[in-house]
Amino acid sequence: MIEASIFYRSMPGGYFLKLLESKDASALFTTIEANKTELSQWLPWVESTRSVTDSRAFIEESLRKNKRNENMIAGIWHGQKLVGCIGFNEINLHTRKAAIGYWLARNYRGKGIITESCRVLIEYGFGELMLNKIEILCADQNLKSRAIPQRLQFKEEGTLRDYLRLHDQYVNIIIYSLSRRDWHAMS
């Protein structure tokens, strides 16, 4: 379990990662709402986020899962502004595996923020959680999202056909992975 007040990682350019807390619900909802069109293109949960209450419920459920060592969802902050989220959507400490998910507000894209945030989580996952494998799943047509694991030298493992339902159609998901052994060989 990671205490909300403990997980804090600073990054270049005044950005930092901090575990989401209930008090962040308004900031989370505001950022999602301002980026709803772009985010809903690839993320099925966006349409069901209709109020601050929905964002608070998401954060509280994430914190419950965090206490059970099942996930870790952090806000990406620039000063006092929440500009996105990243985290281990799923953690399995028994198999020593986790999956990273991320999204970023449109005005902050293309600056390397997600790549750097992923590096922070990778180091945390392999170093502190003692994971053996980290995965990133991306819609096959989401080329910008797919560029992140490619840039970080994840291996493309395969395609999960018709895996995710988006806008009344099914899309393929590409699964990327990075092992502890590969990460240390690159370091």
Q: What's the pLDDT tens digit per position in 150-187?
A: 999 999 999 999 999 998 999 999 999 999 999 999 87
- Percentage of the chain beyond pLDDT 70 is 97
Encoded amino acid at 99, one letter: A
Report how far apart, in Å, the C-alpha atoms of 142 and of each of 39, 87, 139, 172, 173 are.
11, 19, 5, 10, 9
pLDDT range class, residue 4, cuts 50, 70, 90: very low
pLDDT of residue 187: 76
Enumerate domains of the chain plus CATH numbers.
Answer: 8-186 (3.40.630.30)
Whether the predicted pLDDT of 34 surpasses 90: yes
pLDDT of residue 6: 67
3-state secondary structure of 186: helix
- How does strand 8-10 pair with strand 169-179? unpaired
Res 90: pLDDT = 95
